[in-house]
Amino acid sequence: MSVFFLSAPPSISTVTHRSTATTITTRCSSLQTLPQPLPPQPLVPTSLSQPSSSNILLTNPKASPASSSGCSLNCPHFDSCSGCTHEDNLHRPVILHEATMFFKKHGVSDFTFDTCRLWGWRCRAKLAIRGSSTDPLIGLYEEGTHNVVNIPDCKAHHPSINAAVELLRKGVFENSELIFTEMHKVLMMMQVLSLFSGIKILHIDPYDEDERTGYLRYVQMAVTTYNTSLPVSERYRSGRVQVSLVWNSRSETSASSEKLNNLATYLWRNGGPNSKVHLIHSVWANFQTSTNNVIFGNRWRHILGERDFWEHVGGIDVYLPPSSFGQANTRAFDSLLQKLHKYVPVGSSVTDLYAGAGVIGLSLASARKCRKGICVEINKESKLAFEKTIERLPSSIDSSISWHHADTSIEPLSWLVGSDILVVDPPRKGLDPSLIGALRDIKSAERKAMTLESPIFKTKDEKRPWILRARENSIQIPSRTLQEENLSLPQTLIYISCGWESFKENCVALLSSNAWHLTKAHGFNFFPGTQSIEILAVFKRGPGASVKKKKPGKRKKNDKLSFKGQ
């Protein structure tokens, strides 16, 4: 697996785009001006339920903004960093026109696009560490190389990430005023100006890929913006960072463990709760000695700080250990979940494939949209996250919810029995071919289910090892209400996509079978500054309403005169 890091983007204004065909209003967030030379920063929204974003009805995708200066990247690392691909019009990536035309071609003329947060949106970043102990490089690879570029002022990163990186590398928070209130700024500057570099002062050698020497390979920075001790309006800007140090050793018992503990202690002493400004949430270590491009090894260790890392999205508290997958753009993901809720009727039975920690299914259950939920995920590390998350669900929830560690590419229909709605959130490569094939042939599969002819739908005397293993590794939350079993298959498919090219292929394959038709589609700006957009598409069973074309005929004389006279 190759290492690929995204990064991206602050000046903000309200820009209104007008054309003769339609009016598109794009709000690039409100503006809080800071002293120059710092670029202006976005005003933090007051709550996750009210994200700083705007919905754009893209009826005229060719409409171009009158000025792009209000939505420009203004990043000093743009020319050298591989994270971002364009500097202007962050609210309207170039790919938006193609997406609008694609959906219009397939019957969705009201495709919308949520601009979301344009700067300081990335709350989870994996950064390579190379160079030397006297001149450490912490950032992203140059495109097509393994040469690391420092990105201390990345405009995509949540400001707390940039501050934590600076603490790790230099010990001087040159841009720390992006994070805190005026009072906190003074306290921080009094403290940090006396700090020395963590890597430098402790003589921590970064990893050398050629020699396979050194200690610190990568760092993962994850920001939690959910702090109930603060007013809601202050939580985002005061986010704390979970720091995960990827260490070049097999375990914490290696000869270099003292250096690791010293570095963790340095970070905690200068950014923990006893420092002037509490920046660091916790410090973790991951141990990795592989020579390939895989970032994390299988062994983790909690060193300092809080063990439990929580975020609030989709109306629920979500537990996110450093080993599990987490969305980089927390605000945009919350916006997407709010939209998804609208397409799930109350009391539905939902199957969520590629479920991760089951956030989507649990969010629906919390909103009482889901009476029965099945979450299936291949990453076993997500099991702990699911277990911890359900502990904070309201006790009033009366839903049957289960999480399974399984490979959905093996007989995928076996997970869909009795579900009204299927939700899929696959990786960038898209749906597994076996799942595409099953969905294309879902009508015939349902006929077999009703006659109990197919072994896929037999729940008694199960002998298939992959199903048995999945059941053994599952977590079950029973419902207090007796629920009727049925053998129907989903009538609705909700597809969440982070890979545009794979989505197009999957979409065409589904539509060409006439087993599904497309009813709604929404785009979300999860990665401003790049050509990536997140898609939420809703499919319904059947070929859909066909458009009958009128046969060409002779135009009546009165019609000709009427047309001519207009």
For residue range 330-356, list pLDDT tens digits in order: 999 999 999 999 999 999 999 999 999
Who wins on pLDDT, 393 or 564?
A: 393
Q: Is 425 annotated as a binding residue?
A: yes
Provide, rounded to the nearest whole percent, the portion of the chain with pLDDT above 90.
Answer: 54
Who wins on pLDDT, 6 or 529?
A: 529
pLDDT for res 461: 55
pLDDT for res 285: 97
When pLDDT is averaged across residues 480-496 and rounded to a whole number, the result is 80
For the entire predicted model, the pTM comes to: 0.79
Q: Is 327 annotated as a binding residue?
A: yes
When pLDDT is averaged across residues 199-224 and rounded to a whole number, the result is 92
User: In the chain, count of helices (H) and strands (E)?
Assistant: 14, 23
pLDDT tens-place string over residues 235-277: 998 999 999 999 999 999 898 999 999 999 999 999 999 988 8
Task: Give catalytic residue positions.
Answer: 498
Q: Are 247 and 184 in contact (CB under 8 A)?
A: no
123/240 Cα distance (integer angstroms): 10
Question: What domains appear along the chain, each with residue ranges and CATH number?
Answer: 124-307 (2.40.50.1070), 312-498 (3.40.50)
Longest dimension (CA), the chain: 95
Helix intervals (H) in 208-311: 232-235, 257-271
Confidence of residue 482 (pLDDT cuts 50, 70, 90): low
pLDDT at 16 over 60: no
pLDDT tens-place string over residues 502-550: 999 999 999 999 999 999 999 999 999 998 999 999 999 998 765 444 4
Highest mean pLDDT among 140-154, 303-317, 368-382, 404-418: 303-317
pLDDT tens-place string over residues 215-233: 999 999 999 999 888 898 8
Who wins on pLDDT, 10 or 139?
A: 139
Query: Please, is 144 exposed, middle or buried when counting C-beta atoms within 10 Å of its C-beta (0-12, 13-18, 19+)?
Result: exposed
pLDDT for res 21: 33
Lowest mean pLDDT segment, chosen from 86-100, 141-155, 538-552: 538-552
